[in-house]
Chain A
């Protein structure tokens, strides 16, 4: 990938401390988000996608330790900062949080304080980062609430979260995350708790705002349909590792990693309704974190498992095109095999 990035994650490794042991939950993750693009992290629960996103804002809880890697961010002054070198409670990271990198969480109810008004909580962000007087701040908040599609934003400003429906709360959360016009927005499953009709409204809103403000977006989801609609680039995570990444069309139309293929086959497709009632599940289940296999983490469930190869360490990156890469021994063998043939021919 070229140097034209906004955020670059290099060899990020995060461990969870349990009793005396330390279990890796994210291992050697590499990706870069370009300005104005939507980068999606896809994976099942426990794959580490939320942990990665929280580490970018240094919001990891107790017992979760970043043990290696870099997170490079090009800040508003054009300087490149390694976020991992900042003090998680210091001023530097606070200047980045919300002002330059905004975040939307999955559960809109639990991420608002129930005892403060919506307006109060959005204003807090403004007061911290922007130099506006009280009246101006209120005006800016109301403007933003209107922008995210809340009817009667002046009234909404003085309402409490419990008076909002799930969809409205999620809109308010988007307003709070975007009020300082961040360069990067992290959205962790922003539509999972919502109904489909509301989900469609929120996705459309996010897409419009993103185009309008030319903001980059780290989007986390397990819903392939949502990913298809919103993402430009996709990384598939499995047990704390990225197993395949590339442009959304390549990943969804020409998946190479057996896990990506399996995942896409396992979801019910509209086109198959009435044709077949059976789905093609991925056999087995995700191994326990304590039983992390030595080799490729997907080996135990993989249909293309190669003995004495797949169980011996994580595969190297195989590049299929400048942007599309996959970590799989079977794919590597195929690609190398055909290259050898080309050489012979």
Chain B
């Protein structure tokens, strides 16, 4: 399989808090820190991390909804290869036809004053794929039905729908352009569990049927594991580990991945909570930080190397990528039974 998306050294910085009302701007905060990764055609890549780890910013930077500070994003779509980060506004608009996004909160991502039909058809008309509403209608109906919406619902406004149905509308709106790549940013975290399962199934079905490539952003490791072939773990803007789902769960190589997994509350009442839990909280990332960013919370960190040298994302035993100085020496606990 060839790569659809290639990200090279992508960095996004936000200006830091200024000192005083008229003071100088503080050191910039690094939200995404020199991230390189690829997503294969037809693959679902999961991106997990705690809030503030930069996963949403990374997703937005891929589409240039947030301009990256430096780095490159390439897309090798059916219409040829292009460097997304070099496109001008007009060609970027065109590129968006191939890459779409589903947002977390369907309440705020749908226009309350447009009917569902108008919302889904809008991008077809704006991009010149359909001349008017009449021409767009057949395609809208087709997509809406495949997303589980009935024809008579399409003339209603978003407020008449439940959260789950609104998320179906958002997915239909993304799919109507027949994109090759979809970024799903926490698409189910605002939904109840019984509805969450419906939406996850819809995403899985559509992905397989249309051979979509997905970047699935979530803080919920188990949900990501269900959907994704590979998982990338992000910590303070850095990818600290990336591996096929099963391998990652069986044997995490980074202490942070281990900690994340051990923090998942088991649904077995007799299984104790947290064996290898971590204490403390993530401290922000800026240019002044030295060494491994996870070191202050890491139970395996030493006083020398981990504090001073930042570990790069490197390959260790058979194709596993991990950013830890001791990845090949530590034996961490995952879920062996998987």
A109 on the B face (CB < 8 A):
no
Interface residue SS majority, chain A: helix
Contact present for B50 and A268 (CB under 8 Å): no
Q: Is B18 positioned at the interface, with any CB of A under 8 Å from its CB?
A: no
Instruction: Say yes or no for B246: interface residue by CB 8 A criterion.
Output: yes
State whether the Cβ of A270 lies closer than 8 Å to any Cβ in chain B.
yes
* Contact indicator per residue, chain B 137-179, by CB within 8 Å of chain A (1) or not (0): 0000000000000000000000000101100000000000000
Q: Identify which of A168, A197, A272 contacts B263 (C-beta below 8 A).
A: A197
Q: How far is the CA of A162 from the CA of B192 in the complex (A)?
A: 29
Given known A-B contacts A268-B222, A270-B335, A263 and B193 have beta carbons under 8 A apart: yes
Q: Is A267 an interface residue (CB 8 A)?
A: yes
A196 and B219: CB pair below 8 A?
Answer: yes
Judge whether B197 and A279 touch: CB under 8 Å.
yes
Known contacts being A273-B222, A277-B227, is A197 close to B265, with CB within 8 Å? no
A282 to chain B, nearest CB (A): 4
Evaluate contact between B279 and A281: CB separation under 8 angstroms: no
Contact B201 A226 (CB under 8 A): no
Asked whether B268 is an interface residue with its Cβ less than 8 Å from the other chain, the reply is: yes
Residues of B within 8 A of A312 (CB): none
Q: A285–B195 Cα gap in the complex (Å)?
A: 7
Looking at B221, B264, B267, which has the most chain A CB atoms within 10 Å of its CB? B267
Listed stretches B34-42, B66-74, B270-278, B318-326; interface member: B270-278
Taking a contact as CB atoms closer than 8 A, the residue among A165, A248, A277 that contacts B226 in the complex is A277
State how many angstroms separate the Cβ of B86 from the closest Cβ of chain A.
36
User: Please, which residue of chain B has its CB at the minimum distance from the CB of A225?
Assistant: B265
Q: Please count the residue pairs between chain A and chain B whose beta carbons lie under 8 angstroms apart in the complex.
A: 136
Interface string of A268-310 (1 = CB under 8 A from B): 1111111001111110011000000000000000000000000
A200 touching B265, Cβ below 8 Å: yes
Q: Give the complex CA separation of A203 and B278 in angstroms.
A: 13
Q: Residue of B at shortest CB range from A151?
A: B280
Size class of the contact patch on chain A:
35 or more
Residues of B within 8 A of A286 (CB): 162, 192
Choose among A196, A222, A225 the residue that contacts B267 (Cβ–Cβ < 8 A).
Answer: A225
Is B198 in the interface zone, CB < 8 Å from A? yes
Q: Does B194 contact A (CB under 8 A)?
A: yes
Determine if A279 and B279 form an interchain contact, defined as CB atoms under 8 angstroms apart. Answer: no
A201–B279 contact, CB under 8 A?
A: yes
Minimum C-beta distance from A122 to chain B (A): 21
Least distance between A65 CB and chain B CB atoms (Å):
26
Q: Contact between B265 and A274 (Cβ–Cβ < 8 Å)?
A: no
**B-facing mask of A219-235, CB < 8 A → 1, else 0?**
00011111011010000
B263 x A285 contact (CB < 8 A) = no
Separation of A252 and B271 alpha carbons in the complex (Å): 13
- A235–B169 Cα distance when bound, in Å, is 33
Q: Which residues of A contact B51 (CB under 8 A)?
A: 166, 195
For window 32-79 of chain B, which residues contact chain A by CB distance below 8 Å? 50-51
Chain B nearest CB, measured from A200 CB (Å): 4
Chain A residues near B262 (CB, 8 Å)? 200
Given contacts A270-B264, A273-B222, contact A197 B227 (CB under 8 A): no
A196 contacts B162, C-beta separation under 8 Å: no
Interface centre among A167, A197, A203 (most CB of B within 10 A): A197
Residues of chain B within 8 A (CB-CB) of A195 are 50-51, 219
Residue of B nearest to A259 (CB): B194
- Residues of B near A248 (CB, < 8 A) are 269
Q: With the chains together, A132 CA to B190 CA distance in Å?
A: 44
B194/A224 in contact, CB under 8 A: no
Whole-angstrom distance between the alpha carbons of A286 and B192 in the complex?
10
Interface residues of A (CB under 8 A from B): 44-45, 165-168, 195-201, 203-204, 207, 222-226, 228-229, 231, 248-249, 252, 262-264, 266-274, 277-282, 285-286
Instruction: List 9 tightest A-B contacts by C-beta distance, closest first.
Output: A225-B265, A281-B197, A279-B197, A200-B263, A44-B192, A282-B194, A195-B50, A281-B198, A266-B197
